[in-house]
A and B are shown apart, each in its own frame.
Chain A
Amino acid sequence: MDKRVVITGVGVVSSIGIGKDNFWSALIAGKSGISRITSFDTSAYPTHYGGEIKDFKPEDFLDKKKANQLGRASLLAIAAAKLGLSDAGIKLAELNPDKTGVVIGTTMGESQVLEKLNDAWVKNGVEAIDPQLIPRYPANVLSLNVAEELRLAGPNLVIPNACAAGNYAIGYACDLIQMDKAEVMLAGGTDAFSRIAFLGFNRLLAVAPEMCRPFDKNRKGMLVGEGAGIVVLEPLEAALKRQASIYAEVAGYGLSCDAHHMTAPFADGIKEAIEKALYASKIGAQSVDYFNAHGTGTPANDREECLAIKKVFGDYYKKLPVSSIKSMLGHTMGAASAIEAVACALSVKNDIIPPTINYLTPDPECDIDCVPNAARRVKVDVALNSASAFGGNNACLVLKKFPLN
């Protein structure tokens, strides 16, 4: 159980770019993926912006006929998984299918499928429900569809731990490798743009009108987004043996539960997940070079998260770069922490920290260094990926440069 696990491939489908290179160059350029929502009519809602992926063509990644039979969250995940594997330089034929598994995190599952079913039901009654759509809905199809497309027969799970789900999935995938249940794991998260999530966050008055400004004094909320992020995980030894390019080592992770409130973020719980992650990684707080924040841009989240950061890092918090890429992507729900893990892996690999964009006015409650508006070139040996979810669920992942010199 003390096997070291490394990330050797990353796949990402996002509103700022599809594929690692497009994603990373947009991310460090501070490009926004926010636009007017077109997947459904928002005229009855108070807000109209979100992070939809406008240029995603499923047929670029899988057979068009097959693609027509799957929900969008599955399609995003399949695309990210394929991008990840090819980035890792692994050909399907080289994989041992029995020892290659898939763990996917999500918040809403195949929300768009259910929304379609509901549209028909409300408009024309039970008779109008299309039976063909039904098997596309249950959340477990996400990892099954990835496995089926890639013909993988190893461990297969969906962990729907809401907006921290990606980190839970990556953490458990590492456990599975450490227990020898798998040799290669594809782990991450996916969510398609969800009308239900958009509705819910609007009803909570948590949605920003046009721009997500994490840590800014005048921040007005989050923006719903969509996407998928997948990391390819394998034991260090195997990666070295096949001379794979290594992005980072997953040094450890920590989970905590606030046991406090379904939607209100809570500094003590966030702090606990961070501390557990550092402890599991045998890394001191002052060795952290980059803190990728949950940073949703809601007044409460950013305040509580900054409070947690201060509690964990003490005076060092002023020197610690903390950024939120949700300023660019919006909140991609179950994909968020997975895409953020990809960002951390790339940050560790390239020694560049992505910025928090849209930042204008400092907030004394969030007086962290949020890497405002411009990426920063700095040595990143250790990156920490913090995520919080509905239900008071926090998950923190620690990535470390390999080799560390």
Chain B
Amino acid sequence: MSKKRVVITGLGIISSLGVGKAAFTENIFQGVSGIKPIATFDTALFSAKSAGEARDFSPEAILGPKGLRTLDRSIKLVASATKLALEDSCLEITESNSRDVGVAIGTTLGSVASISDFDREALKEGPRYVNPALFPNTVINSPASQVSIKFNIKGFNVTISTGFSASLDALNYGVDALRFGRAKIVLGGGVEEFCIQTFLGFYKSGCLSGPGAVILGEGSGIIVLEELDSALARKAKIYAEVLGFGSALQDFKKSMRLSLEEAGLAAEKIDYINSAANSSAEFSAREAKAIEELFGKKAGALPVSSIKPLAGESFSASGSLQVAAAISAIERQKVPPSMLNQAQSPMVEHVLINTGGKSGVNSSLIISKFKGY
């Protein structure tokens, strides 16, 4: 059985680098940073004071003023990114195509603010003062589910929690679902909100201070994955084709190798690597070493860049923002500027995206310029 080809036909993105694809692309190519002093809460008690918050984001402007009252930030981020992606893809969900569309979202914390606040309210005020309408926000799959409810998407709805690699793992779940014929279109990607709980988690673990301090971000990227036939039939604009995916436990070399194998590409075909690097030195060195080992002599000349110095480390949403950067690179035929190395590529045909953190799953995805049949 020949593999169904899967293409990317839409993109919706919200991050500290702005709302929508145009703002995001412009900022990563101009090297404009979204990192600013934290506005979500008072940082007086903490030595870390900056983050990449999505400040330009107004949920009301995208979703309208109604029905937002009980929704948390994760839901608003992912629902808004979905709306932008649907518009970008000229895709209208109707009763007749609703069952052919699926949702696969990567998030590991869900809305940890919602979960923690719900419990703390009971601890502080007593159980009977807790608002039952907020309970649905405490399940990790609530952001993804609200996307289906808001946009009437009935094919399937899945959430993937794999830490730093969750966006790519969710996209791969979507690709698999398309190949198994479970849908024709999958809205895939990720979401993480910036909140005091997430900040405290990373801060107390020692990730946000000292040498190699990480700066957190937030956001949501939704990528419209579509089987080629469906995209062609509706004359959708095609950004790129998904060629390969690989995943491994704490092993960038293996995840990259598997993605190349699935793509049927030799390592030297890769024109650009969008790296998982945040500021954690130990972890960046691990990825760099894996690239060196896998790409051999070419490694020095291979453009490698990370958007995290600009957008912040957005944990499970990172991969979705990185795919957006890769799409921009293919569109502009240019590699976003980098603090990692200054190499440029004469053309950008194949982009490899790396995700992962200090521990856990590493996933790699290859997306390529679409070249027709």
What is the interface of chain A, defined by CB distance below 8 A to chain B?
1-2, 44-45, 106-109, 114-115, 117-119, 121-122, 126, 129, 131, 134-135, 137-140, 143-144, 147, 153, 155-162, 168, 172, 175, 179, 195-196, 199-205, 255-263, 269, 272, 389-393
The answer to the question of B322 belonging to the interface, with a C-beta cut-off of 8 Å to chain A, is no
The answer to the question of B109 belonging to the interface, with a C-beta cut-off of 8 Å to chain A, is yes
Starting from the known contacts A126-B200, A157-B160, A161-B157, 11 additional A-B residue pairs (CB-CB under 8 Å) come to A1-B180, A109-B161, A139-B140, A140-B162, A160-B139, A201-B135, A205-B132, A255-B182, A257-B145, A259-B149, A391-B144
Taking CB atoms, residues of chain B closer than 8 Å to A140 are 108, 161-163, 166, 360-361
Chain B stretch 118-133: residues in CB contact (< 8 A) with chain A: 118-120, 122-124, 126-128, 130-132
The answer to the question of B173 belonging to the interface, with a C-beta cut-off of 8 Å to chain A, is yes
Chain B stretch 92-151: residues in CB contact (< 8 A) with chain A: 98-99, 103, 108-110, 112, 115-116, 118-120, 122-124, 126-128, 130-132, 135-136, 138-142, 144-146, 148-149, 151
For the complex, give the distance between the alpha carbons of A162 and B139 in Å: 7
For the complex, give the distance between the alpha carbons of A83 and B273 in Å: 42
- Asked whether, in the complex, the Cβ of B110 is within 8 Å of the Cβ of A160, the reply is yes
Taking CB atoms, residues of chain B closer than 8 Å to A155 are 247
Taking CB atoms, residues of chain A closer than 8 Å to B249 are 144, 147, 153, 156
- Asked whether, in the complex, the Cβ of B127 is within 8 Å of the Cβ of A203, the reply is yes
What is the interface of chain B, defined by CB distance below 8 A to chain A?
1, 45, 98-99, 103, 108-110, 112, 115-116, 118-120, 122-124, 126-128, 130-132, 135-136, 138-142, 144-146, 148-149, 151-163, 166, 169, 173, 176, 179-180, 182, 200-201, 204-206, 247-249, 251, 359-361
- Asked whether, in the complex, the Cβ of A144 is within 8 Å of the Cβ of B360, the reply is yes
Taking CB atoms, residues of chain B closer than 8 Å to A144 are 249, 359-361
A1 with B1: in contact, given A122-B124, A140-B163 (CB under 8 Å)? yes
A69, chain B: closest CB distance, angstroms:
14
- Asked whether, in the complex, the Cβ of B136 is within 8 Å of the Cβ of A263, the reply is yes
A44 with B126: in contact, given A114-B116, A134-B201, A134-B204 (CB under 8 Å)? yes
Taking CB atoms, residues of chain A closer than 8 Å to B128 are 44
Which of the residues B116, B154, B182, B360 comes within 8 Å of A118, measured between beta carbons?
B116
For the complex, give the distance between the alpha carbons of A341 and B99 in Å: 26
- Asked whether, in the complex, the Cβ of A260 is within 8 Å of the Cβ of B149, the reply is yes
- Asked whether, in the complex, the Cβ of B145 is within 8 Å of the Cβ of A256, the reply is no
- Asked whether, in the complex, the Cβ of A175 is within 8 Å of the Cβ of B176, the reply is yes
Taking CB atoms, residues of chain B closer than 8 Å to A160 are 110, 139-141, 159, 161
Taking CB atoms, residues of chain B closer than 8 Å to A117 are 116
For the complex, give the distance between the alpha carbons of A389 and B156 in Å: 12
For the complex, give the distance between the alpha carbons of A18 and B110 in Å: 31
A393 with B157: in contact, given A44-B127, A262-B145 (CB under 8 Å)? yes
Interface centre among B154, B161, B166, B176 (most CB of A within 10 A): B161
- Asked whether, in the complex, the Cβ of A159 is within 8 Å of the Cβ of B136, the reply is no
Chain B's closest residue to A155 (CB) is: B247
- Asked whether, in the complex, the Cβ of A258 is within 8 Å of the Cβ of B154, the reply is yes
A257 with B148: in contact, given A144-B360, A203-B135, A391-B139 (CB under 8 Å)? yes
A255, chain B: closest CB distance, angstroms:
4
- Asked whether, in the complex, the Cβ of A203 is within 8 Å of the Cβ of B130, the reply is yes
A390 with B124: in contact, given A131-B205, A257-B156 (CB under 8 Å)? no
A45 with B127: in contact, given A156-B249, A393-B141 (CB under 8 Å)? yes
Chain A's closest residue to B142 (CB) is: A391
Chain A's closest residue to B166 (CB) is: A140
A139 with B180: in contact, given A115-B119, A168-B158 (CB under 8 Å)? no
For the complex, give the distance between the alpha carbons of A107 and B161 in Å: 11
Taking CB atoms, residues of chain A closer than 8 Å to B163 are 138, 140
Taking CB atoms, residues of chain A closer than 8 Å to B118 are 196, 199-200
Q: Which 10 A-B pairs have the closest CB atoms?
A: A391-B145, A200-B135, A160-B140, A262-B136, A203-B132, A255-B156, A139-B161, A257-B157, A140-B163, A158-B161
Which of the residues B108, B120, B154, B157 comes within 8 Å of A139, measured between beta carbons?
B108
For the complex, give the distance between the alpha carbons of A201 and B130 in Å: 11
- 8 A–B contacts from the bound complex (CB under 8 Å): A1-B179, A121-B120, A140-B166, A179-B179, A200-B118, A256-B156, A389-B141, A393-B145
Which of the residues B116, B140, B155 comes within 8 Å of A109, measured between beta carbons?
B140
Which of the residues A106, A118, A161, A262 comes within 8 Å of B149, measured between beta carbons?
A262
Chain B's closest residue to A163 (CB) is: B139
For the complex, give the distance between the alpha carbons of A196 and B149 in Å: 24
A41, chain B: closest CB distance, angstroms:
11
Which of the residues A121, A135, A196 comes within 8 Å of B115, measured between beta carbons?
A196
For the complex, give the distance between the alpha carbons of A360 and B361 in Å: 50
Taking CB atoms, residues of chain A closer than 8 Å to B139 are 107-108, 160, 162, 389-391
Taking CB atoms, residues of chain A closer than 8 Å to B159 are 159-161
For the complex, give the distance between the alpha carbons of A238 and B361 in Å: 27
- Asked whether, in the complex, the Cβ of B152 is within 8 Å of the Cβ of A196, the reply is no
A263, chain B: closest CB distance, angstroms:
6
Taking CB atoms, residues of chain A closer than 8 Å to B156 are 255-257, 393
A159 with B119: in contact, given A44-B127, A134-B201, A135-B205 (CB under 8 Å)? no
Interface centre among A134, A161, A201 (most CB of B within 10 A): A161
Taking CB atoms, residues of chain B closer than 8 Å to A195 are 119
For the complex, give the distance between the alpha carbons of A140 and B140 in Å: 11
Taking CB atoms, residues of chain B closer than 8 Å to A143 are 162
- Asked whether, in the complex, the Cβ of A175 is within 8 Å of the Cβ of B154, the reply is no
Which of the residues B109, B247, B251 comes within 8 Å of A138, measured between beta carbons?
B109
For the complex, give the distance between the alpha carbons of A161 and B104 in Å: 11
Which of the residues B98, B108, B127, B149 comes within 8 Å of A202, measured between beta carbons?
B127
Which of the residues A108, A156, A196 comes within 8 Å of B162, measured between beta carbons?
A156
A118 with B201: in contact, given A202-B127, A257-B155 (CB under 8 Å)? no
Which of the residues B110, B201, B248 comes within 8 Å of A153, measured between beta carbons?
B248
- Asked whether, in the complex, the Cβ of B136 is within 8 Å of the Cβ of A158, the reply is no
- Asked whether, in the complex, the Cβ of A390 is within 8 Å of the Cβ of B162, the reply is no
Taking CB atoms, residues of chain A closer than 8 Å to B161 are 109, 138-140, 157-160
For the complex, give the distance between the alpha carbons of A389 and B142 in Å: 10
- Asked whether, in the complex, the Cβ of A204 is within 8 Å of the Cβ of B179, the reply is no
